[in-house]
Amino acid sequence: MSKIAVSLAAVIFTVFAAPVSAAIVYTDSASFLPLVQAGSYLNTFSSQGNGGSAGIPTLSYSGLGFAYDVTADTSGLFADNFTIGNFAAANPVVFTFTGNPVTAIGGNFYLTDINGVLRTNADVTIQLSDGTIETFNASSTSAYRGFISTGPAITSMTLSPVVRFYNVDNLTVGTAVPEPATIGLIATAGAIALVARRRRLSRSN
């Protein structure tokens, strides 16, 4: 095997066999959204209205090729004030992504009491399928968390049970902008492949 072929194999292995990493966490939309490629799906949950729908088994959403189902254990979901969450406190809320691969997720996450009043005496805990766990105290209804996957696509997001009621709003799902290092490795792999091809052609001539 030629040195070029060995180098190409090493680069490809580095690009496609990198170890799985937890997602990078962002605490505001201004930092997170520029890292999401155009064509992401923003859901403001405006279709839920402002009247209250309780005990919904599953809610399904889709847009721009991205799709997900939302469930909340046996008691179901609660949709009101243009947000969604759990109908019964201490029930986990699970988002399962079924459309295009998701490598970027961001939105507003906070807790309320049964009357919809913001509560800060418990923490929001978000767990992604890649093992990322983010726990924080949401001090306002605009509390934000964004996640950029540095490994495989995110297939699920779970809001762990607490003594309060979850509220999720302005959820963005999409594809993360490739890191400069990854782009460089792919470009290098392409350049090595091109050199190898030209070398083979020159030998055959």
User: Quick one: pLDDT at residue 171?
Assistant: 98
The pLDDT of residue 198 is above 70: no
The pLDDT of residue 201 is above 60: no
What gap in Å lies between CA 91 and CA 87, rounded to an integer? 8
Q: Please state which CATH number belongs to domain 20-178.
A: 2.60.120
Place of tokens 């083979």: 200
Give 146-187 pLDDT, tens digit per residue: 999 999 999 999 999 899 999 999 999 999 999 764 434 344
156-159/124-128 β-pairing: antiparallel
State the pTM of this model: 0.79
Q: What phi, psi does 134 have (nearest 5°)?
A: -125, 120
State percent of the chain over pLDDT 90.
65
What gap in Å lies between CA 173 and CA 204, rounded to an integer? 49
CA–centroid distance for 136 within its chain:
17
